[in-house]
Structure 1
Amino acid sequence: MRKQADLKKFSVREYVQQQQSRFTGSFFIADQDTYKDNQEQFPFRTFAYSVGLFGACRTGRMQIGSAAFDIGSGCLSTIGPGIVCEWHIHCEGDHDTVFFNDDFFNDDARSAWLRTLPFFLPGGNHVIIPDDGKMEQLRSLFITLRQFREDKNVLTGILYSILMVVAACHDSAAAQSITSFSVHEKVTRHFRELLSVHFLQEKSVAFYAHQLQLSPKYLSEILQAVTGKSAKTMILDHTLMEARTLLRQTEMSIQEISSWLGYEDYSYFTKAFKKKEGITPMAYRKL
């Protein structure tokens, strides 16, 4: 990216998609062997939709946006394009993931529907544990998907069926969360959704507290109780996670990254990054 580029018109998602060389075409299936050879050691921005099934595997942990998820046997993961993720502990064992792009279905109605599914959006509930019946349905569909992986006409129908089952799993999880989630947990989830949308422009706790109709102090107390972090810390962590992936996945200058993230003072961004990560942005880029 050139230094004179207009950052207001710059799309990180489009830029990363252009730079991405691992994923060609609009469809790809990965298994545990794929992950052994491609373990990201830094935050990375997703460039496609993905649906993952985890069978018998050792427990791992993944940061997806501002939320950390435990991943292990029986989990279903759903992540949309443009979301920053980071493995904290790699999940080793039996798991399969299907990746696909917006244009895979070649159908405007289905593509539009795909973009509305909340579990693919930033701040969504990206990891759930479906009931055994639904997991068995998904495993069977994944087996069939592999069998017809060379036939695009059949693939689209199978993948659409997978997404319908996944949507049903999330509907069930959402219905359960209405009664099982505490008020504080619901506030935390809503805060994360707001943060994923507004963090570039809004970094004050007061803004998010106003959106949630809470006082800044009470919001921080809730987040501290649920996550162990204050609102201010969560905002900073989310912003710097974005910075780390931009440093690794793009050629944007550090000044451009600072400006993109909403920091008018470049030196303030550099100091905040070094305080959190222990090294400067330039040193992090060279790792």
Structure 2
Amino acid sequence: MKRDNKHIPINNLTDNPQVGILVKRRKFQKDLPDDSEHIAHRHDEHLFLVIESGEIQLELDFQQYTLRQNTVAYIHPSQVHRILDLQHSSFAIIGILSVHIKDEYFNILEQLFLPAKPIFVSGEHAKILSGTVELCESIYNSTVDRAYSSLLSDYLNAFIGLYVSQYLRNVQSSEKSNRYQIVTKAFRELLEKHFSNMKKPGEYANILNISPSYLRECVRTATGMSVTDHIQNRIILEAKRLLCHSKKTIKEIAIYLGYDDHSYFSRFFKKAVGITAHEFRNENHLF
């Protein structure tokens, strides 16, 4: 449930790791029954909190937010966060691994200036968002099978699309980017186009016409992760997507991702994920 990663715990939210999705409603009259959410941590999943009543005090990358009814908060897997207080509150919690998010939405989430400010949703938009959460919860609680996994992923992507649309409408036009964020955004855009053929930080720095050390400084400051981590995570994410959703052989996937030596790719995947590509496919393949 919890493991140590350079002293920052990473909590796995999902009940079923083979699905990699969580949809639950939670209600608290008192504080949390244990201290797991009070301790600063990360999650493997992209996390959304939809506040239905009361309020929650959330610390996200050292910034504190008060979340009230009809507020939606997004937490990226790279972000360190903790719950400060949630008494007398009810909310829906949605967790989804990157591998299940559509490219167009994933790219937007990756380019948000973190921490993404919680957004307030009102009127008809609030009703639509709430109805989508209810539908996702209903499907999540139904029988688990292969069709279920694909259908649940589709509906959760609909929820993410609604969130992204509302976020861009509410927040993005008013955000001011500092230089670190601008460079990081440019790097992420390049990474999305070139992760299969550019695997060294210096290659991205050259295109951006900055030094590798300055690129590392910008990305580390803006995201808390190294340039190399971002590159490797993007490659692993694409490998997982292909293992889950395609019929390519592991050798074909390795070549597609720029690895002529598929045995090296297999070692790289196992080191990053903890299991072999073959084992991952057996556990997660949707075909």
Under a length normalisation based on structure 1, what TM-score does the superposition of the two structures give? 0.51
| Contact kept in structure 2, 1:118 and 1:124, CA below 8 Å | no
Q: 1:41 to 1:187 in 2, by over 3 A?
A: farther
Residues of 1 paired with 2:278 and 2:224: CA distance? Answer: 30
Residues of 2 paired with 1:172 and 1:213: CA distance? Answer: 33
Higher share of residues assigned strand: 2
Residues of 2 paired with 1:242 and 1:168: CA distance? Answer: 27
| Contact kept in structure 2, 1:223 and 1:231, CA below 8 Å | yes
Unaligned runs of 5+ in 1: 1-35, 45-51, 78-84, 86-91, 97-116, 147-162
**Residue 173 of structure 1 aligns with which residue?**
171
Q: 1:193 to 1:169 in 2, by over 3 A?
A: same
Shift of 1:129: 4.9
**Residue 282 of structure 2 aligns with which residue?**
286
> Is 1:71 matched up with 2:71?
no
Shift of 1:224: 2.5
CA deviation profile, 1:141-183 (whole Å, cap 9, x unmatched): 457899xxxxxxxxxxxxxxxx8996464144123321xx432
Q: 1:62 to 1:175 in 2, by over 3 A?
A: farther
Q: 1:143 to 1:70 in 2, by over 3 A?
A: closer
**Residue 203 of structure 1 aligns with which residue?**
199
Shift of 1:37: 11
Residues of 2 paired with 1:140 and 1:252: CA distance? Answer: 41
Matches within 5 A, 1:1-287: 41=18, 69-72=46-49, 73=51, 74-75=71-72, 93-94=91-92, 123-125=110-112, 129=117, 131-132=119-120, 134-142=121-129, 167=165, 169-178=167-176, 181-287=177-283
Runs (4 or more) in structure 1 with deviation over 6 Å come to 54-63, 117-120, 143-146, 163-166
CA RMSD of aligned residues (A): 5.1
Residues of 2 paired with 1:140 and 1:125: CA distance? Answer: 25
Unaligned runs of 5+ in 2: 1-12, 52-70, 78-89, 95-103, 134-160
Shift of 1:234: 1.4
**Higher relative contact order, chain-length normalized (CA < 8 Å, sep 6+):** 1
- Percent of aligned pairs with the same amino acid: 26
